[in-house]
A and B are shown apart, each in its own frame.
Chain A
Amino acid sequence: MRFVKTVTVSALALAISAPAAFAEWQPRKPVEFIIMAGTGGGADQIARLLQGLIEKKDLSPRPFIPINKPGGSGAEALRYLQDKAGDDHTVMMTLNSFYTTPIIQEDLGVDVTEFTPIGLMAMDTFLLWVHTDREDITDLDSYVAAVKGAGLDWKVGGTGSGQEDSVLTAMMEAAFDYDVTYIPFPGGGTVAKNLIGNQIDSTVNNPAEQMEFYRAGSSKPLVQFTGERMAAFPDTPTAKELGVDIEYYMQRSVNGPPGMSEEAVVWYTNLFNELFNSQEWQDFCTSDGLTCDNFLNGADLASFHATQVEAHKKLIEQVGAEAITGE
């Protein structure tokens, strides 16, 4: 009897002290998972995949709720995150407009280096796409000829002035010495759909955005803007192979608002690191042409961001902010 009592008491004591011993930060309410782009685009697909994985693997005691804030080439989302300074229940899936939008829109009052870096999930890639109906276009040369023939009637779809695809479009305009009309849509998925519907003539979609239409035989890639050919597109040449010096990647990192508490940063970093290493995520990277070799976080990611901001400043200076905003 005495023994039972002792065991009960010690068990009770353990039960009381255990939570204190393992007390670490955890979300206490649903986490807003902001996506700085529209639905159906690359960032959106990734965020929704991650959200689902968090639920499936039961990695968070509270759900992650994805919210799209595509307004103003991501300006809406950046401003939103800035206003959330000190909040531990908001994180954001970012893309390169994380760098370009604050450079182009100076009066936004956002400095992304003040945001809290959490984890770099992947580097995404770009390809040049046209509709398969365009039988006259088979490679880069015939593409450039077609664009030059059409002049400003050539319509390139993208996700907004100042977004990475407009930077890439401006880089191409400079490299091939032509001018196109750039039409902004609310997200990469909508851009892809408008290419298939022949509303626009070409796009520089990420692989994930065109994949299903490509598999259905509605669109074809002409060039990939990577260092080496991706496994998913073995027959598409890189720009460098064709003697054009354009190599451009898109970062896919998760960041928090400025001044997030240290305990929360640790928790989120562990969470996204675990997701990064999951089989599901690595499979997605392979099938959709993302590079997912290194998970950067903390100071490494902060210095990565700083380098990228400088690189984009130079890039925008080179092609001219007007070439990107179209003003």
Chain B
Amino acid sequence: METILVSLGGGLLQAFEPLNLFMIFAGCLAGLFVGCMPGLGSVNGVAILLPVTFLVPPTAAIIFLAALYYGAMYGGAISSITLGIPGASTAVATVFDGRPMAQSGKADKALMAAAIASFIGGTVSIVLFTLFAPPLAAFALKFGPQEEFALMLLAFATFIGLGGDDIPKTIFSILLGLVMAAIGFDIISGQPRMIFFDMVEFQRGIGFLVLAIGIYGIGEMLWTLESTKGKVQMHSVNITWARFKENLREIKDYINSTWIGSVLGFFVGTLPAAGATPASLMSYGLSKTFSKDPESFGKGNVAGVAAPEAANNAASTGSMLPMITLGIPGSPTTAILLGGMIIWGLRPGPLLFTESPDFVWGLIGSMYVANVATVLLNLALIPVFIRVLAMPFTLLTPIIFMLCVLGVFATTDRMFDTWIMLILGVGGYLLRKLNYPVAPAVLAIVLGPLAERSLRQSLISSQGDVTTFVTRPISLTCVILAVLLISYPLIQRMMRRRAEAQT
């Protein structure tokens, strides 16, 4: 413990060196910008800005990239809330409640909740990282395919409750997502499957962002057009000091969700297979399940913004852990950080902590500072962000449409995906008209491939024996939790009915 504190102290001192402090602020700002542009995720941001880091020493360089990564996590929430288009895959769950809040004139509250939850999530995660990095690395090694699948099962279970009372419709939506996730190459044998109309373009599958931007960007736009007939009431919010203080007091409404998101996000982030996107979706599902007022989720509950935002920041810190201790990046962005480290002559792996302590602790110290820096920058910029909402609807809608098309084309570089996105947008709108929940489909397309791979790996290694999921302790625990979570809403409903019958 003492050694940890001494090392951490040294790390913090490093973070406060003028150059490093400057890198933190520069990284956060760049990240905010990159994160809030749809189609320009933290992956591209880190890749494009990698050259900047060769001008400074390695510690300052990784600090810059890590700060950029955080900034992007915050930034993703901004376009999710103000425009209803997820800026990055990690911010999709933020749209669920962030967009309705913005539409009812509470954009500032949503942005503030996102900033504060991100800050708490990031900080909790770094504290856990500081204290438990080596044992957690050992824990991550215990995660074989069986455990991964059990975890995915748990994630799906948290989403059964998401569709409200209509469980069959939720399951339909999950299945639809799973079918879309299965298009493309079989992940084990490599054979192409579900190539509709023999179009080779389907071999590359349907990307997650294509679906998310389609459903939330285009679908939402159509929905707003229909429900308001173009006469949209725009809510411009004036930020005053009084309102800021009032918003600050509302933390108690979402603090529980923030804790759930922080801890869950960190653990999911540390697992090499997962990363921030599943973490944010899972934590949204969980905090809805345990909310006193689950009905209000998806309609503008501030806890629905806080949970995924806390989780994605916590997970981005968490995903540094497998990278530093095992050399396996937990997310595409950390993969680029890993590349940077190799150039600087650092070899991530079990020996990095002992061989390059200055570097590791400098990085950890900078994470604390970067978090404070980003939350301050964010709170200060909220008035700027909500200006977007003061734009007339006739101007905002074409911009949203343009950003959707641009965002998809920029990430995949194919017109085919852009068309698919538009088709899925219309499809999502129709599903919504028929009262089908669309969020579970988005979850399924993210988790589907992960679940499929781990299921098949487990069954290959157990030679087809399904009991392999319940004979391993970690996997068994997850399976039991999943079963409990699936039955929880059912039991709740049965109890409610019984109570109604008695009165």
Q: Chain A: residues with CB nearer than 8 A to chain B?
A: 30, 32, 39-40, 44-45, 47-49, 51-53, 55-56, 58, 63, 65-66, 68, 71-76, 79-80, 83, 101, 104-105, 107-109, 152-153, 155, 160-162, 181-186, 189-190, 193-194, 196-200, 211-213, 215-216, 218, 280, 325-327
Contact = CB atoms under 8 A, between A and B. Distances in A.
Contacts of A56: 51, 54, 343
A65 B457 contact: no
Contacts of B463: 152-153, 181
Given A48-B335, A212-B350, A190 B191 contact: no
A215 B51 CA distance: 30
Contacts of A51: 47, 50, 339
17 contacts: A39-B332, A49-B342, A53-B343, A55-B51, A65-B44, A75-B203, A152-B463, A153-B463, A162-B190, A185-B457, A186-B453, A193-B272, A198-B141, A200-B461, A211-B349, A212-B349, A216-B349
Contacts of B144: 194, 197, 199
Given A45-B342, A190-B328, A215-B351, A183 B457 contact: yes
A326 to B, nearest CB: 8
A200 B327 CA distance: 18
Interface in B147-166: none
A68 B336 CA distance: 11
Contacts of B140: 197
Nearest to B450: A186
Interface of B: 44, 47-48, 50-51, 54, 140-145, 184-192, 200-201, 203-205, 272-273, 322, 326-329, 332, 335-336, 338-340, 342-343, 347-351, 413, 453, 457, 460-461, 463
Contact of A181 (B189, B332, B350, B460): B460
A207 B329 CA distance: 18
A36 B463 CA distance: 28
Nearest to B413: A32
Contacts of B200: 79, 83, 109
Contact of A63 (B48, B192, B340, B350): B48
Nearest to B144: A199
B349 A213 contact: yes
B343 A52 contact: yes
A48 B342 contact: yes
A103 B204 CA distance: 19
A55 B326 CA distance: 25
Given A44-B335, A71-B184, A216-B350, A189 B142 contact: no
B191 A65 contact: no
A47 B343 CA distance: 11
B327 A52 contact: no
Contacts, number: 157
A215 B188 CA distance: 31
B204 A66 contact: no
A72 B332 CA distance: 19
Nearest to A55: B51
Nearest to A74: B190
Given A75-B190, A197-B141, A212-B351, A40 B328 contact: yes
Contacts of B457: 183-185
Query: Ordered nearest first, which 7 A-B pairs have the shortest CB separation?
Result: A212-B349, A48-B339, A72-B190, A72-B185, A197-B141, A52-B343, A199-B144
Given A49-B343, A198-B141, A216-B350, 5 more contacts: A48-B342, A52-B340, A56-B343, A182-B460, A213-B349
Nearest to B339: A48
Contact of B189 (A83, A198, A325): A325
Contacts of A182: 460
A108 B350 contact: no
Contact of A189 (B191, B328, B461): B328
Contact of A79 (B203, B350, B351): B203
Contact of B145 (A71, A153, A199): A199
B339 A52 contact: yes
B190 A101 contact: yes
Contacts of A193: 141, 272, 322, 326, 328
Contacts of B413: 32
A124 to B, nearest CB: 16
Contacts of A213: 349-350
Contacts of B327: 40, 189, 212
B32 to A, nearest CB: 20
Nearest to B350: A216
A182 to B, nearest CB: 8
B190 A71 contact: yes
Contacts of A68: 332, 335
A322 B216 CA distance: 45
Contacts of B47: 30, 51, 63, 65-66
Contacts of A76: 184-185, 203-204
B273 to A, nearest CB: 8
A57 to B, nearest CB: 9
A32 B187 CA distance: 23
User: Which of B186, B327, B329 neighbours the largest number of chain A CB atoms within 10 Å of its CB?
Assistant: B327
Contacts of B191: 72, 105, 107
A207 to B, nearest CB: 12
A184 B458 CA distance: 10
Contact of A211 (B48, B336, B347): B347
B473 to A, nearest CB: 14
Contacts of A101: 190
A257 to B, nearest CB: 13
A155 B460 CA distance: 9
A212 B141 contact: no
A116 B188 CA distance: 28
Contacts of B351: 212, 215-216
